[in-house]
Amino acid sequence: MERLRVVGGARLSGTVRVFGAKNSALKLMAATLLAPGESKITNLPAIADVDYMAELLTRLGCSVKVNNELHEVIIAVPKKLGHRADYDLVRKMRASINVLGPLIARELVAEVALPGGDAIGSRGLDFHINGLKDMGAEIHSEHGFVIARASNGIKGAAITLEFPSVGATENIMTAATLATGRTTIDNAAREPDVVDLGEFLIAMGAKITGLGTHTITIDGVKELKPATHATLADRIVSGTWAFAAAMTKGDITIENGRVDHLEVPLDKLVEAGAVVTTTSNGFRVKMDKRPIAVDVATLPYPGFPTDLQPMVIALNAIAEGTSLVTENVFEGRFMFVNELLRLGANIQVDGHHAAITGISELSAAPVAATDIRAGAGLVLAALASDGITIIEDAYHIDRGYPDFPVQLQSLGADVTRV
């Protein structure tokens, strides 16, 4: 299995460049299914999940050319698509479920295996399914597949989500682009990734208003056309580098980082003692002292992102003082805490709360990554430890962080694959 060897004690300093967001790029790739012809996605991150999505689209009948050197993918979509997404690919990443909306819109039938991905919680598909049912789809589960049919076509509907689910908002929005009539999504997700997908759909000819607000309105059109779109910068990767600077008393400039997408996390880092300044094409985070503990509660955007929760727990583990981190999005996120305890962290978990008492230095030990963000958080914790930490199952990290060890090395860290 893939492992990372991390030597603690380095002060990270230098410049890193952030490419497109994983959570956006995969959804953009899935959305190309809506329009026959050749679409291009640029500013693509060179990560494993892009290859998984490329293979999934290929099996649906597309011709997919990924160019990691140019950070782009060209997807040629046929007039007639396949409609079955098999488990062997879907189990590797949850974003596979995003083909459901485009397939039901284009082919009026979709068979998508129940998704896998990170072990961070149940993340049921009820919101996706109920929304598509409101639009006229008949959906049931059979032999591990979500099977959807819309014999009479997809029709616009007024849909209110019980929770502002990103995936449900995206699947409903993509299906609605080719529906008959108007669809409104109330309590819609406001994440920048949703806005990015919506802007791509508009470039394809969709009629969408309200992106970035609680209510998105989509007026269905008869057909969409291929388009070219640049993926927005990855705010979670940008945030990870920001926390890396704070935890190692470092100084990192993050090119392409968007401070407007990270207001709450960066405010927390300033509260912890970091100095955050904007640059001409990103921002810089500098820390000269031991961090001060900060309380955090994860929430849907624009709140503190759940994907940065492992990083703030790792920071608090070596911070001065005590803190409380509350997880409101994914109940399984605290699996990461068990690995931090192996590094000597002082953390007590009670339900969806983690009480953390900071210590001056963590103790190196073998640990395992349980998901993408937990893996990155463990790397940051290992950098703040007193020796050599081996991180098992590091393949998780490659699913969300392009060339993570190489970029860390460029900042002065001693990190190698073993």
Query: Which residues are known to be catalytic?
Result: 118
- Are 33 and 76 in contact, with CB atoms under 8 Å apart? no
Q: Give the distance between the most distant pair of CA atoms in the chain.
A: 64
Question: What are the CA-CA distances from residue 114 to residues 100, 170, 184, 360, 400 (Å)?
Answer: 11, 17, 26, 43, 21
Q: What is the C-alpha to C-alpha distance for residues 379 and 376, in angstroms, rounded to an integer?
A: 5
What is the amino acid identity at position 348? Q
Q: What is the C-alpha to C-alpha distance for residues 30 and 174, in angstroms, rounded to an integer?
A: 10
- Are 64 and 51 in contact, with CB atoms under 8 Å apart? no
* Prior bond of 402 cis (ω within 30°): no
Annotated binding site: 22-23, 94, 307, 329
Q: Where do we find the tokens 């068990």?
A: 338
- Other beta carbons within 10 angstroms of residue 36's beta carbon come to 18
- Which positions ≥6 away from 143 have C-beta within 8 Å? none
The three-class DSSP label of residue 93 is coil
DSSP 134-182: HTT-EEEEETTEEEEE-TT--B--EEE-SS--HHHHHHHHHHHTTSBSE
Annotated binding site for UDP-N-acetyl-alpha-D-glucosamine: 94, 307, 329
Q: Which residues of 204-230 are buried (b: 16+ CB within 10 A; e: fewer)?
A: bbbebebbeeeebbbebeeebebbebb
Nearest to 197 by CA among 160, 234, 165, 171: 171
Annotated binding site for phosphoenolpyruvate: 22-23
- Which positions ≥6 away from 346 have C-beta within 8 Å? 317, 356, 357, 358, 359
> Could you give the dihedral angle defined by the CA atoms of residues 136, 138, 140 and 145, in that order, rounded to the nearest 10 degrees?
-90
